[in-house]
Amino acid sequence: MFTGIIADVGTIADKQERDGGLRLRIETNRLGMEDVQLGDSIAVNGVCLTAVQIEGKCFTVDVSRETLNCTVGLEQQGAQVNLEKALRLADRLGGHLVSGHVDGVGEVMDFVNLGESWKLVVHTPHDLSKYIAAKGSVTINGVSLTVNKIEGTAFEVNLIPHTLQQTTLKELHVDSRVNLEIDLIARYVERMLNADK
């Protein structure tokens, strides 16, 4: 589990083809790898991946073809990625409960500077839009955000300068594709409502 509070922006330092997927070596800046062990989960752009090798400030993960087909932002060497270590029971829950299981890929429709903040409008796949609620939580590329407004299959969030400085979201532009994870509660509510149908 994660919180959607990004701890670091890392770089995909190396990628290698491996069994139809990729092996990525990711270089961190301020993540703090001293407490990370082999097998630990790290969210990379919102995707929960397992550390299979750790060397200094770098860690290596294997990404299956299935994961690559369902996400964006993991295939380009040199790309910057949002990083978050898995939540410990004693940690503060500063964002919301995030599983690191991407539900779909959205597309940026608008990204506008409002002066003190930025407005980001994202189009969601039709089957995901029903799970996104005004004032509810959504994760974009691993970042926990609050939904301000919904119109059809698009939703709007507000990004403060701190969020832009600490994440890769500042690099977004119209037509950028982003990893989306809906709030966990929405999944279980639907399952309960449809369990007897």
Indicate if the pLDDT at residue 40 is higher than 90.
yes
Structural domain includes residue 1: no
DSSP string, 54-97: EETTEEEEEE-HHHHHH-SSSS-TT-EEEEEEPPPTTS---S--
76 shares a domain with 109? no
Which CATH number covers residue 180? 2.40.30.20
Residues 70-80 have pLDDT tens digits of 999 999 999 99
Q: How many domains does the chain have?
A: 2
Q: Are 79 and 24 part of one and the same domain?
A: yes
Same domain, 110 and 58: no
Q: Are residues 74 and 147 in the same domain?
A: no
Domain end among 85, 119, 153: 85
Mean pLDDT of 15-41: 95
d(CA 61, CA 86): 15
The pLDDT of residue 59 is above 90: yes
In a domain, 132, yes or no: yes
Identify the domain containing residue 20 by its residue range.
Answer: 8-85
Query: Does residue 197 register a pLDDT over 80?
Result: no
- Residue 78 has, within 13 A of its CA and on its CB side, a CA count of 0
Question: Do 112 and 190 share a structural domain?
Answer: yes
Asked, for residue 47, whether it belongs to a domain, the answer is: yes
pLDDT tens-place string over residues 103-148: 999 999 999 999 999 999 999 999 999 999 999 999 999 999 999 9
Higher pLDDT, 157 or 89: 157
Interval 24-35 mean pLDDT: 96
Strand-pair category, 21-27 with 8-18: antiparallel
- With respect to residue 170, please indicate whether it lies within any of the assigned structural domains: yes
d(CA 121, CA 172): 11
Residue 24 maps to a domain: yes
Q: Is residue 97 part of a domain?
A: no
pTM: 0.94
What percent of the chain is modeled with pLDDT above 90?
86
Burial of 179 (0-12, 13-18, 19+ CB in 10 A): buried
Residue 91 is assigned to a structural domain of this protein: no
Contacts of 98 (CB under 8 A, 6+ apart): 1, 2, 3, 4, 43, 46, 139, 142, 144, 181, 184
